[in-house]
């Protein structure tokens, strides 16, 4: 039986899904430091997947990893929303579709 090697952070239920498919997997629980490192890698992976597919599913995956990163760094989703809202109030959002082309001195 062939073995495929991964070294990536996966969702919590992936090992049971693999085993329900009749396969065996080897997993470990990460240290907090390694978890943060792999969360950052996962953010990049999910962003790349969204950029390639432009799918709502990939945006949902990106949001899931963002929420995990917020919690892992000791913040709350309320903290994240507060910072987002403050920035939007001070600098605006992106609804007006403004392209900044140049600034002259």
Q: Is the pTM of this model over 0.85?
A: yes
For 22, 35, 41, 63, 66, the CA distances from 13, given in Å and listed in that order, are 15, 17, 19, 18, 18
- Indicate the SS3 state at residue 41: helix
Residue-wise pLDDT for 46-64, tens only, equals 999 999 999 999 999 999 9
- List phi, psi (to 5°) of 61: -65, -45
Gap between the Cα atoms of 47 and 104, Å rounded: 33
pLDDT band, residue 69 (cuts 50/70/90): very high
Structural domain spans, the chain: 14-91
């Amino acid at each position: 039986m062939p073995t495929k090697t991964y070294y990536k952070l996966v969702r919590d239920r992936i090992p049971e899904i693999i085993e329900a498919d009749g396969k065996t997997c080897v997993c470990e629980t990460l240290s907090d430091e390694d978890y943060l490192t792999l969360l950052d890698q996962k953010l990049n992976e999910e962003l790349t997947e969204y950029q390639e597919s432009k799918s709502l599913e990939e945006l949902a995956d990106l949001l899931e990893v963002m929420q995990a990163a917020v919690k892992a760094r000791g913040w709350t989703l309320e903290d994240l929303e507060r910072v987002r809202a403050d920035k939007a109030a001070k600098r605006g959002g992106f609804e007006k579709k403004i392209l900044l082309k140049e600034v002259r001195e």
